[in-house]
Structure 1
């Protein structure tokens, strides 16, 4: 480009920089924990001069004071008599004082960008003003941005920056078109450029020069208008992030009202809004406003982009929960608006598993919009703003990656237009704009800037548009880059921060999925399915999965609210679950010798797990006997005289098994007891765990476990069946047999201290100290019996007591851990963030790290990064696997053959005490020759407890052991069984794990009229032949599959009374 233009642009940049600096408010006098500092007469002479506008709200109320003398002119622009607008964003909330008078106050997120605060005075040169910001103490983010705006300054900035952007765009057009007439015109434009005009700051000259330049650029208009930018107005509304639910309601109502009024004023304005819960808020709190919105939706100007109940976290939600987001959002959209949106809108979600395209394709959703983690998700950088994101099954969505809180300026829209043309040859691009986070949406200034830009010669064609119009337009082009990987990860601290909400979510998911299955089975027997109550419970649970809530990055008030919501869900769902269980139990023949105990398996495979139950009245617990229907003796262990525990073995899939409990010992003369064992089965007496507490050696038929009595670390775990070391052996140092490297052992608890850093809830900062917790206060056997041995290990770290139980079952190849701590180690802006992890070193050379993700597994590098998982991470070496399972955690790291689970973090913002106080964490080591299907089943079984009912004895049409439905597949896992939302059919969903085509078989013990393979919403894609009580379903690799079973009658099931040994 011509040197004159370079000189001109340099002067333009100097000018705009100077104006920006003048308007910016970047330096204040600062002090915390004072009173009355809004008074102009207050003496702040000894206050800190603060340029880094960050602080800790935890440290108290803060004042920011700034004395101002506004000049007559700034960079040649006359300010005398000009209105003064104050723009700011205070995530913490703020009270604003001007010359000692309070002008504005908001408790939570205070945002005056969409509608700036007009100050009561106009510019009067020489007059002194005092601006004071007062921020509260407590939770939140300590940081803000603020600036003044003046109409003449804004106009000057707009005109000169727009002129510069147009000249550069014209040059780009010339390079592409290579037309001689345009070249001649452009040379004339360059001749008109005079840096001296800018230097003189004579704005009459500057405006005249810009007008002349734009007149000469007029022939470029036709070429510039070939570029079309779809302007997508949007309001990103976070649910209860740094504010309470009442404020969320206020924001939703405010923004919907503002947008509908702007639509009245600007007939071409369009708007896109996601999250069904937002629409429900407006519907419930302002029906008249909701009707106005419905009218705009019908017109096609209001674009509903909601295919999820909220914009939730996708790395930590169960795959079935993600499906419920889609199902309930689609149901709401159909019922309220009669529409089916085609896009999943996830701009602020903190990462995206590779299975998302599979899930969306199964739902018929074709489009995806996201911002995070942007170009960071692939090594070497990733710059494609639009691409086909493809799942392993081949299903794909057209994905668009961009920021979502943008503003309409010439440089911004030209940049996106050029990028799409140069990268893809596309003349169509999408630009998402609008104030967001605490809502806001399109501003009047944005709309007017668009109108002004329409008059300029070298600006792309700008059109207020919708996502549907944009994606439908660009989809016509078939060739885009294809991405076949996960789009992760960002904000790794979020996988652990705020353990309470993660535990509550897992409990709610587990309860609701169990309820769905058992209620569906009860429905087969004639009980009404609780459609509305389930919907309400799911919607509440899905709300709590909003990314900022679920990720632990909200304020404490938000968590108080969400904990109460989760409590309501658990109470309601537990009550409904008990109703379904009792209904089924009443149909079961429970006659036998003793108190019947029915164990229900809500999962789609036969499994064995420990079962705890309360001892019924009349049984003292001194000595009891337990048998199954074949008379097999089942070892029972009494816990503190109040509860019993046994291993419920081989409980049928989607079914139950009965046991009978009675006081006293087994009757060796009873001919009905102890029949000859089946092949490979013992007689049932069980075998106690061999224990030597002094040496720390514990042994079962499955493994030998050696725990150091002085430190509590595992020095050896030997798998007898497979004759191999599960963990690295903690060998003694040759020169000192009592010494060994703790880092080579298992169950090593470590406390790391992160340096103080911003966004401490989101980010795991630099660790400057790590301490191994090797000192013990207690090492003893807490419980010992025929079922299990419980070892108690007590540690102390500074002010925190850590009680750990190591649970060794005589009849299961696993080691369970239950850790309780009253955690008192607090994070602060001075000391940083404490983090507790448990670490195991596997006895593998080069393991493969496999992280469970929604409907599958993700293999990741073993380089020590904190990464997300659902219920398990396993290390695999050949056919052998070591799985570290959890019940409420998501943050794992694998470094070589070291696997660590992050137990808790206690950052200091936005919640100052997110993980203080009582914390309980359960985890399990599961090992053996297990494939990914089996490990996923183990993880699901660890989380989805058997449902146990102590029943009365009575006859029944159903046998004492029964499976309603048996699913057989070597490579597929059933994920849910529930009644369809319309109540007309039974839905079974399963997913393929191992990347193999094949067939899965069904055998059902209830009448089935037809089976149809469907999409997520029950739309049929293939009829499956039914042969009596069996069917076979073809399955593609890595596919998500839904089948619909229609049963004509429940009566034959009760009449059959058939035993369910399938």
Structure 2
């Protein structure tokens, strides 16, 4: 139907959609059936209404159709070619946009956009996350890096985040920007509300923009536009007092306003906050996500190296499928913890199978690359460092001897003895001796080092546990309160700083009566108690590698065991927490009050970091948070100082009055009804009941977190060295396959390109400094140099032609950039 309204150039773009939650209050199989049903209905409506246009995102949902109903899939392809079925988003799913690591967003686009290009011939340019619970500040850079120009979102709502207009330029910290739109009202609109929404939107269209988007259609469980929707819009099209009303799609809307976009305001900020409880709801799914992200990135690196070194082909398709499984479970209602228990049972099964596949890729690749073996032959090991810089790390091995042996000598390839700490000895006349040792190993960048264990005649007595109230290393002097087990003091000997303002490492219990989302909650401050010491503070081990201190405690029906590790060679103070949690509608945090003034708080975000007000609000984070400021010492001497708190699986925390608190868990009722809890919770299932485990680490540092290179420290904390038996010579086991400098740059990706021929490197600048990046690749016999700008994510495409290698800057879609930085490639000797 031709729009009959001639009033000016103002336009209302009506976006017909059916938001589909791929899992939420239903399992994925039910969502798949709804996707099929909704798609068939949409095609029927297109036959009845020639001007009707439909918008749909999420490659995973299209893949469901392709596999379940090829005929329906072909019908959709036809409508896409006609321009009536419009593809938006370009990502595998609509994920949580706070919790996944930065690389996951690039993979959402890489696999999603490639799918749409391959199956439909469509290059998607508009990002589309209409139901996600907030959007991190680096996303504009990641969108542009993946060749996307626009972004559509609805949350946070206007009451949660004030923006200058519905349409604006959204800019990341590196200067990248996209045209973003938060349309008015909601992505689900009933037929009864459409008329009122159109009238209200017509009054608010900004003249310098001239257009507005309005969404309509039944959503969440699919459904989409109805005949009543479409007929109502057609009636409104006849009114001459309204702007032009057009059945359309987001990309057409952005194309319309782009010529006038120079007048739009710029927002350089996160688009936060909505449902702050989601950062910490359902610990297991979040642990799965962190662990598999790192394992997949390591699998890509080591399989790429194995192909270059030994010719063993990278299993590109298996890696792609593993990524797609992880990306699917980053869907916002799954990863946020806001789905029913059955969804997480399905997730556990799928992610376990994925882990088996990924572990198999890692194992086979390391064996092909290094000459290691997966079965015991001799007491020789190869230790593989997954990060692209040299590091010192504590390594643990189990040594076996056929006879009775009580002590061990450990050597490297040069025969140099490495001091070891023996913490377990088991001897059985029929089975021999099993000795568990730990030591501090200096590991080459993204490479390996070999070690050999031989019997030693030294008779070292077993360490005897003892109760302590203090403990001292070369770095720190810790004092414990014997009454409650808290750390009373941490004295930083090197910097002459009393780190804590009050006792720290306190397990705080808070009242948390909210739903799984934590709707409308800004902060969690209702403290109702804390864990109390249950026994003594016990020194369990003290040797050449580490000291191990145990603190057992109890709250109500819940128990906790904290194991504190202090190292001879590392400034980290590590904590391993096991909790048997039996509380309901409560939250657990660990708190460290830091002795600083004039402080500021920084939280890691995906491929970046962000300063936020230190007012106690619950904040999203990734692997670390930091408080830095001024320490006032004796005689009023001031010095710049800070403390970082690292973690291996958590995503929420807060800072207030110089106290850092990492959120360990929440135990709300599993999602049942959206934003509505029943008065009587009897018989309902609560989250995070039973055993929970988390590792966290405290790193006090002089100056700011940048000078302490905390991003690298946190990345390494989440990337433990891998150990394998070695059947070859030790000296052949030592190698560095890839190294990146300087220290403010982190390499996250080295992989086989999706074209099956080239290679991809990706890194990002972490500390806000212009730098010249140097990447040494002895396996290529080349060194690559390229500038990187503050906070920039950069990808490099390496091409191989015989023994010659060339490199160009590329996008996240692995396409060369026409205006990319010049990449300098030089030959180096094979190491």
Give me the whole-angstrom Cα distance separating, in 2, the residues matched to 1:578 and 1:1044: 26
- The range that moved more, 911-920 or 835-844, is 911-920
Number of equivalenced pairs = 767
Give me the whole-angstrom Cα distance separating, in 2, the residues matched to 1:440 and 1:236: 8
Q: Out of 148, 156, 166, which is 1:385 matched to?
A: 166
Name 1:882's counterpart in structure 2.
Answer: 643
Say if 1:417 and 1:427, in contact at 8 Å, map to a contact too: no
Answer yes or no: is 1:661 the counterpart of 2:449. Answer: no
Answer yes or no: is 1:410 the counterpart of 2:195. Answer: yes
Question: How far does residue 754 in structure 1 lie from its aligned partner after superposition?
Answer: 2.9
Q: Out of 505, 509, 513, which is 1:751 matched to?
A: 509
Question: How far does residue 764 in structure 1 lie from its aligned partner after superposition?
Answer: 7.1
Evaluate the alpha carbon distance shift between residue 988 and residue 517 of structure 1 in structure 2; reply closer, same or farther with a 3 A threshold: same
Aligned-CA RMSD value: 2.7
Question: How far does residue 462 in structure 1 lie from its aligned partner after superposition?
Answer: 1.4
Question: How far does residue 655 in structure 1 lie from its aligned partner after superposition?
Answer: 1.4
Name 2:726's counterpart in structure 1.
Answer: 951
Q: Out of 158, 175, 178, which is 1:394 matched to?
A: 175
SS at 1:330's partner residue? Answer: helix
Name 2:577's counterpart in structure 1.
Answer: 819
- The range that moved more, 468-477 or 601-610, is 601-610
Name 2:540's counterpart in structure 1.
Answer: 782
SS at 1:570's partner residue? Answer: helix
TM-score (norm 2): 0.88
Query: For residues 593-614 of structure 1, what are the alpha-carbon distances to aligned partners after superposition, in whole Å with 9 as ceiling and x for unaligned?
Result: 9732111122121112222233
Q: Out of 232, 238, 256, which is 2:15 matched to?
A: 232
Q: Out of 593, 598, 607, which is 1:855 matched to?
A: 607
Name 1:563's counterpart in structure 2.
Answer: 348
Question: How far does residue 653 in structure 1 lie from its aligned partner after superposition?
Answer: 1.4
Question: How far does residue 222 in structure 1 lie from its aligned partner after superposition?
Answer: 5.0
Give me the whole-angstrom Cα distance separating, in 2, the residues matched to 1:596 and 1:758: 49
Name 1:961's counterpart in structure 2.
Answer: 734
Question: How far does residue 877 in structure 1 lie from its aligned partner after superposition?
Answer: 2.5
Say if 1:615 and 1:621, in contact at 8 Å, map to a contact too: no
Counterparts of residues 514-913 of structure 1 (less than 5 Å): 514-525=298-309, 526-586=311-371, 595-616=379-400, 618=402, 622-641=406-425, 642=434, 644-665=436-457, 694-728=467-501, 744-755=502-513, 760=518, 763=521, 768-826=526-584, 833-877=585-629, 880-910=641-671, 912-913=685-686
Q: Out of 267, 286, 292, which is 1:483 matched to?
A: 267
Evaluate the alpha carbon distance shift between residue 484 and residue 756 of structure 1 in structure 2; reply closer, same or farther with a 3 A threshold: closer
Question: How far does residue 750 in structure 1 lie from its aligned partner after superposition?
Answer: 1.1
Name 2:812's counterpart in structure 1.
Answer: none
Query: For residues 436-469 of structure 1, what are the alpha-carbon distances to aligned partners after superposition, in whole Å with 9 as ceiling and x for unaligned?
Result: 1111111111011112222333232211112221
SS at 1:557's partner residue? Answer: helix
Give me the whole-angstrom Cα distance separating, in 2, the residues matched to 1:897 and 1:822: 29
Evaluate the alpha carbon distance shift between residue 766 and residue 926 of structure 1 in structure 2; reply closer, same or farther with a 3 A threshold: closer
Evaluate the alpha carbon distance shift between residue 950 and residue 230 of structure 1 in structure 2; reply closer, same or farther with a 3 A threshold: same
Higher relative contact order (CA 8 A, sep 6+): 2
Evaluate the alpha carbon distance shift between residue 785 and residue 995 of structure 1 in structure 2; reply closer, same or farther with a 3 A threshold: closer
Q: Which runs of 5+ in 2 are unaligned?
A: 426-433, 631-639, 673-684, 806-826
Question: How far does residue 1050 in structure 1 lie from its aligned partner after superposition?
Answer: 7.7
Query: For residues 177-196 of structure 1, what are the alpha-carbon distances to aligned partners after superposition, in whole Å with 9 as ceiling and x for unaligned?
Result: xxxxxxxxxxxxxxxxxxxx
Give me the whole-angstrom Cα distance separating, in 2, the residues matched to 1:486 and 1:377: 12
Name 1:914's counterpart in structure 2.
Answer: 687
Give me the whole-angstrom Cα distance separating, in 2, the residues matched to 1:558 and 1:633: 52
Answer yes or no: is 1:248 the counterpart of 2:31. Answer: yes
Name 1:926's counterpart in structure 2.
Answer: 699
Question: How far does residue 858 in structure 1 lie from its aligned partner after superposition?
Answer: 0.5
Q: Out of 1031, 1044, 1048, which is 2:797 matched to?
A: 1044
SS at 2:349's partner residue? Answer: helix
Question: How far does residue 648 in structure 1 lie from its aligned partner after superposition?
Answer: 4.5
Q: Which runs of 5+ in 1 are unaligned?
A: 1-219, 668-684, 729-743, 827-832, 1009-1028
Query: For residues 614-654 of structure 1, what are the alpha-carbon distances to aligned partners after superposition, in whole Å with 9 as ceiling and x for unaligned?
Result: 33464866211112223332222334335634345331212
Say if 2:465 and 2:539, in contact at 8 Å, map to a contact too: no
SS at 1:336's partner residue? Answer: helix
Answer yes or no: is 1:935 the counterpart of 2:710. Answer: yes
Give me the whole-angstrom Cα distance separating, in 2, the residues matched to 1:951 and 1:547: 43
Q: Out of 292, 297, 321, which is 2:80 matched to?
A: 297
Give me the whole-angstrom Cα distance separating, in 2, the residues matched to 1:974 and 1:765: 35
Question: How far does residue 488 in structure 1 lie from its aligned partner after superposition?
Answer: 1.2
Give me the whole-angstrom Cα distance separating, in 2, the residues matched to 1:909 and 1:968: 46
Give me the whole-angstrom Cα distance separating, in 1, the residues matched to 2:405 and 2:93: 49
Say if 1:619 and 1:663, in contact at 8 Å, map to a contact too: no
Question: How far does residue 425 in structure 1 lie from its aligned partner after superposition?
Answer: 2.6
TM-score (norm 1): 0.69
Query: For residues 704-756 of structure 1, what are the alpha-carbon distances to aligned partners after superposition, in whole Å with 9 as ceiling and x for unaligned?
Result: 1112222111111111122212222xxxxxxxxxxxxxxx2110111111346
Query: For residues 105-150 of structure 1, what are the alpha-carbon distances to aligned partners after superposition, in whole Å with 9 as ceiling and x for unaligned?
Result: xxxxxxxxxxxxxxxxxxxxxxxxxxxxxxxxxxxxxxxxxxxxxx
Evaluate the alpha carbon distance shift between residue 786 and residue 946 of structure 1 in structure 2; reply closer, same or farther with a 3 A threshold: same
Name 1:427's counterpart in structure 2.
Answer: 210
Name 1:738's counterpart in structure 2.
Answer: none
Give me the whole-angstrom Cα distance separating, in 1, the residues matched to 2:538 and 2:667: 30
Give me the whole-angstrom Cα distance separating, in 2, the residues matched to 1:346 and 1:818: 36
Say if 2:277 and 2:516, in contact at 8 Å, map to a contact too: no
Say if 1:760 and 1:909, in contact at 8 Å, map to a contact too: no
Larger radius of gyration: 1
Query: For residues 535-563 of structure 1, what are the alpha-carbon distances to aligned partners after superposition, in whole Å with 9 as ceiling and x for unaligned?
Result: 11000001111111101111101111111
Evaluate the alpha carbon distance shift between residue 505 and residue 645 of structure 1 in structure 2; reply closer, same or farther with a 3 A threshold: farther
Give me the whole-angstrom Cα distance separating, in 2, the residues matched to 1:1031 and 1:518: 19
Say if 1:959 and 1:1058, in contact at 8 Å, map to a contact too: no
Answer yes or no: is 1:267 the counterpart of 2:19. Answer: no
Give me the whole-angstrom Cα distance separating, in 1, the residues matched to 2:180 and 2:437: 51
Say if 2:522 and 2:617, in contact at 8 Å, map to a contact too: no
Say if 1:959 and 1:1057, in contact at 8 Å, map to a contact too: no
Question: How far does residue 977 in structure 1 lie from its aligned partner after superposition?
Answer: 1.4
Say if 2:770 and 2:790, in contact at 8 Å, map to a contact too: yes
- The range that moved more, 479-488 or 616-625, is 616-625
Evaluate the alpha carbon distance shift between residue 621 and residue 301 of structure 1 in structure 2; reply closer, same or farther with a 3 A threshold: farther
Evaluate the alpha carbon distance shift between residue 336 and residue 614 of structure 1 in structure 2; reply closer, same or farther with a 3 A threshold: farther
Say if 1:778 and 1:795, in contact at 8 Å, map to a contact too: no
Query: For residues 674-717 of structure 1, what are the alpha-carbon distances to aligned partners after superposition, in whole Å with 9 as ceiling and x for unaligned?
Result: xxxxxxxxxxx9xx99x995442111111111122221111111
Evaluate the alpha carbon distance shift between residue 764 and residue 850 of structure 1 in structure 2; reply closer, same or farther with a 3 A threshold: closer
Answer yes or no: is 1:1030 the counterpart of 2:783. Answer: yes
Say if 1:607 and 1:650, in contact at 8 Å, map to a contact too: yes
